[in-house]
Amino acid sequence: MAEAARVHVATASRALDPNSEHGVAAATAARIQQVAEELGYVRDTVARSLRSGRTMTVGLLVADLGNPYTPPLLKGVETRLDQAGYMCLITESRSYHELPYAAVEQLLSRKVDGLIIEAVRPRDRDQIKRWAAQIPVVLAVQALSRSAIPGVRTDDVRGAELVADHLADLGHRNVAQIVGPQDVRSFADRRGSFESRCAERGLVVHTSDPVSEPTSSEAHSATATLLSERVPPFTAVFAHNDVMAIGVLSALREAGRRCPDEVSVVGYNDMPFADAFAPPLTTVRLPSFDIGTTAAELLISQMDNPARRPRSVTMPAELIVRDSSGPAPTTT
C-alpha cells in the first residue's frame, strides 16, 4: 500500500492512524487513505495493540439502556471515541442500586484502555477507586465526593432552583415533588435544592416517599398516594426526571385533574420527545449528547497523558418552558 501511494511505510502508518494522521500533510494523507480504500485495507487492531500496548477499546457502563435519556449520551460518547479511533464496549447495570462489578471486571479482563461509568452510588467509591488505580476512569452525569475521580456532572442544585422559581413566579403556593432514589446524588441534590428554594419563596412542599426506581409506574403510585392524602391540594408537581413525569401525568388524568389548568407538571432531563407529551413537558434540560462527548474527551485526555491532573466539568442547567406548566388556578 505504501508503494502504491508512493510514500514511506512509516508515513502510511501515520496517515491511517487517527491519533497521528495530523502529522501527515493533508493531501498526502488523503492519497494514502484513498489507496487504502481501493486496496481493501483493514486495520489489524490486534497487531496494533501489541505494538502500542493499547486495545483501542473503552468500557461504558450505563444504568438503563431503556431510559430515553441514555441513547443521546451513548451517541455522544461513541462519536468522540470514534474520532479518536476507539471502539466502545457497552454494558448495563439494569439497576439503579447496584453496580455490576462482575461485568466491569469482564471489561477489565478484556484490557479496555479506559472506563466511563454513568450510574454510581457513594457506597461504590472504594471499588471505583480500585478500578481507577488500574486504568483511567471518568464518571458521567454523577460525581463521587472525596474520590478525585474526574467526571461530567450536571448542576442539579441550580436546576431544581430554576423549577422552584418558575412555579413561584406562576403563583403556585402548594406544590409537590416526586423524588427519586436518595442514594443517587443527582436526585438528592434536586430534592434538597427544591425544598430550600421553595422555603425561601414561601411555597409549601409535599414530598413523596423516595421511589426505589425512577420509573413512570413508581411515580404514578407515588402521585396517587399524595393525591389521596388529606393535605392541602397542590397545584404543581416537580418530577425528578421526565420518565417519572409520565407517571405523574397519568395519575393526574386518572384522578380527573387537568394539566396545566388544575395542576402544573415539571420534569427533568428534557429527554427525546418531551416536547411531544400531552401537554408538551416543561423540564430542565440536560445536554446528554454533550455530556457524552465531554466524558469521552476527558477519558481520551487521561489515556493520552496519564500524568496529567484529571479535571471535572459541570454542565449548566437550563429550564425549558412548555405547556405543562401554567399559572396557579384561582380559587373562588
Integer Cα distance of 228 and 329 in angstroms: 20
The torsion angles phi and psi of 191, rounded to 5 degrees, stand at: -65, -55
| Contact indicator for 16, 45 with CB cutoff of 8 Å | no
Lookup result for grid cell 401537554: 279
Buried b (16+ CB within 10 A) or exposed e, 95-126: ebeebeeeebeebeeeebbbbbbbbbbeebee
C-alpha cell belonging to residue 112: 479496555
pLDDT at 303: 94
Give span(s): CATH 3.40.50.2300, the chain.
55-154+287-315, 156-285
Helical H runs in the chain? 2-5, 9-15, 26-38, 45-52, 70-83, 101-109, 125-132, 156-169, 185-201, 216-228, 242-254, 288-304
Question: What digits encode the pLDDT tens for the residues 254-286?
Answer: 999 999 999 999 999 999 999 999 999 999 999
CA distance 138 to 115: 6
Residue 266's DSSP bridge partners are 238, 282
What pLDDT sits at residue 73? 95
pLDDT lower than 70: segments of the chain: 1, 19, 42-53, 94-99, 230-231, 331-332
Q: What is 156-285's CATH number, 3.40.630.10, 3.90.550.10, 3.40.1190.20, 3.40.50.2300? A: 3.40.50.2300
For domain 55-154+287-315, the CATH superfamily is Response regulator (3.40.50.2300)
How far is 92 from 70, CA to CA, in rounded Å?
Answer: 11
Residue with cell 489515556: 303
User: Are the C-beta atoms of residues 15 and 33 closer than 8 Å to each other?
Assistant: yes
pTM to 2 decimals? 0.81
The model's pLDDT over 192-215, given as tens digits with 9 standing for 90+, comes to: 999 999 999 999 999 999 999 899
pLDDT at 65: 86
Q: Quickly tell me which residue has 461530567 as its cell.
A: 152
Long-range contacts of 4-13 (CB under 8 A, 24+ apart): 4/35, 4/39, 5/31, 5/32, 5/35, 7/31, 7/32, 12/36
Predicted confidence at residue 265, as pLDDT, reads 98
Among candidate residues 170, 151, 100, 103, the one with its CA nearest the CA of residue 324: 170
Angstrom distance (rounded) from CA 152 to CA 295: 6
Q: State the pairing for strand pair 114-117/174-178.
A: unpaired
